[in-house]
Amino acid sequence: MTLLQTLTGPSDLRQLSVEQLGELAQEIREAIITQVSSTGGHLAPNLGVVELTLAMHRVFDFGHDRLLFDVGHQCYPHKLITGRYPLLSKLRTREGMAGFPEPNESRFDLFRVGHAGTGISTAVGMARGDTLNGEGYDPKSNPDGRRVATIIGDASIVNGVAMEGLNGAGVLKRQFLVVLNDNGMSISKPQGAMAQYFDRVRVSHTYTDFKKGAKELLKHVPGGDMLREAYHRMGEMTKAAIAEDSWFEKFGLLTVGPIDGHDLPTLIEFLTEARDMDRPMVLHVKTVKGKGLDIAELDATKFHSPKAFKVERDEVLGCRIEMKSGGRSFTAAFADALVDLMDRDPKAVTATAAMPDGTGVIKAMEKHPERSFDTGICESHAMDMMAGMAKTGLKPFFAVYSTFLQRAFDQAFQEVSLQGLPVRLCLDRAGLVGGDGAVHHGFCDVAILRTLPDAVLTAAIDEPSLQAALEFMRTWEGGLSSVRYPRDDCSERFAHQGCPAFELGKARLLTPEFADLDSARPDAAVLAFGTPAIAAMDAREQLGADYRVAVWDARFAKPVDTGLIRSLLERGIPVLTLEDHSVIGGFGTAVIETAQEMGLDTSRVVRHGIPDHWIMQDSRNRQLAEVGLDAAGIARMIRHAADPARHDRFVPARSEPLAREAHSRA
């Protein structure tokens, strides 16, 4: 058996020699590469932190001490070290290991973490909490207390919340360690002045420079007396690596490094000294994203979170990579539509927040670099920047994952909607997202944006409708607008039919035989917002001649089609609303609210969408089936809407995460 297979928990690491830790690092890399190449997942960020994670678990006791992750997609080595190797073979499924920290899997995971920038602040909170509870580490009064460490990386240090966390960390009067995993990368190439600063640090500081400036620096660091005392207790390596005039020092944090994040003996020595510090500090660790797999090192962006892939090496042809292919994705469709739009309209500009590949904006960057921007992991800044551009008469399109839109809602409210500015939001990964699970579902964008006066919210069902939605938004100047589309392939069902232009607040009938509701009355009418319209058509076919079902692509969640709603409800036709979004506050709620405002009877309106509980990681198709948004679930809901006395509605079962006690050996 390999070392990894026999590892029962972090305590085993303290029984291994440094040489054996090196062997274990290689085994962990091989295990991650093998699994991700088979199923997909986060590859390059995990390969880059193997030695760092081993060293931290070797030095600290995170069964007692606190380990907080910032960007949770760096957690695979941590999970394997903490006894979850048996769950790796079903990575990112309900039966296996989540792709992000998951407290129900193990006591070593403290928070579910999917969004960047939060780790320092939550760690500050735990440090303060432990101190108030009398459990915090103090070298004199409580040497057995809890220490706190947080790992931040993939350029998330530039996030605004991370800055706020540093501001709070700098005034702590206790041990507190921030490990900056500096791999010179975000999800793609990092952006902004901060990235340029770290580039300079990595090339300009030498061991001699550190040693010469260390004592002088301590004269100016807040808490200088205590730190000067600590300085004399430090080993020579740590003294030499104190960074003079560090950016973090302005926050009151002693800064050490950068050091080699793949050198286990050095990491262990530095972390051992950092563990016993009685003041907050930053350990700046330089790593290589994708370390150990040459193709990932050369293209860390492509291999950040790849689909399943196969590498074929040939002495003549070189290295060839085959990635699992599917149909044409909505992201690819958006990328081409955006470029076409920018080709036609010189006022159109676009931005993304560290997701040029994930959102497809990379194509616009290549074709129109002067009008395309990547702000880094700074969604709030991106939204405000778009507002500023709109104020100058440009037509901004902000491409952002639905789950990350939440981070910029205040800016969408204050700087965009309140000003009446036409900023256009292109919401990728709307709805259930598959393997990334609960931390990444785009389930509340409609609910939050619908509260903004004059906002216009649309959804696409396929590529032609996405193109039409973007064209509508291009010419819409009445305020904030959005289009949502899922992490999925585009349906071809209506691709070869003419797609009518979007008309404000008007739905599109997908079943033309019901154009005249008086002469062809359906047993039920389905109003579907977004891609559930396609599944509704499949459900209609499953029901066959037993039910006459009319299906509309709702197109707008704000404003909804008031004429259609009145026409259906005044005729007493049962209505089923569908959405790949929370049933609370979403499109269905908008339909009921609108009907009530018109004084209509809403007793025959049935809403169906994502239920009011967390949906855990799995394939998107399995998640849709779980909540009843597949064809079979929708068919059952149509039967219920048409005849509620005879047919029960679909009631989704709760998708609870794996229980820690049953599945963790840690």
Residue among 379, 415, 463, 626 flagged as catalytic: 379
Cross-strand partners of 550: 525
Q: Which of 312, 260, 319 has the alpha carbon at shortest distance from 291?
A: 260
Question: Is 379 considered catalytic here?
Answer: yes
Angle between helices 207-218 and 224-233 (to 10 degrees): 140
What are the C-alpha distances in Å from 228 to residues 217, 232, 256, 303, 363?
10, 7, 14, 44, 52
DSSP per residue, 578-604: EEEEESSSSHHHHHHHHHHHTT---TT
Torsion of CA 79, 13, 63, 29, to 10 degrees: -10
Pairwise CA distance, residues 610 & 56, whole Å: 39
What are the C-alpha distances in Å from 413 to residues 12, 160, 379, 391?
51, 18, 14, 15
From the CB of residue 505, how many other CB atoms can be counted at a distance below 10 Å? Answer: 16
Question: Is 649 considered catalytic here?
Answer: no
Length of the chain: 666
Copy the structure tokens of residue 256.
Answer: 């050490």
Pairwise CA distance, residues 50 & 25, whole Å: 6
Cβ partners under 8 Å of residue 496, min gap 6: none
Residue type for position 1? M
Copy the structure tokens of residue 223.
Answer: 């808490």
Element (H, E) at 373: strand 372-374
Strand 456-459 to 556-558 pairing? antiparallel
Strand order across the 66-69 sheet: 66-69, 148-153, 176-182, 280-286, 254-260
Residue among 58, 371, 407, 604 flagged as catalytic: 407
Q: Give the CA angle between residues 373, 379, 382 to the nearest 5°.
A: 40
Question: Is 229 considered catalytic here?
Answer: no
Residue among 79, 289, 429, 558 flagged as catalytic: 289
Catalytic residues: 289, 379, 407
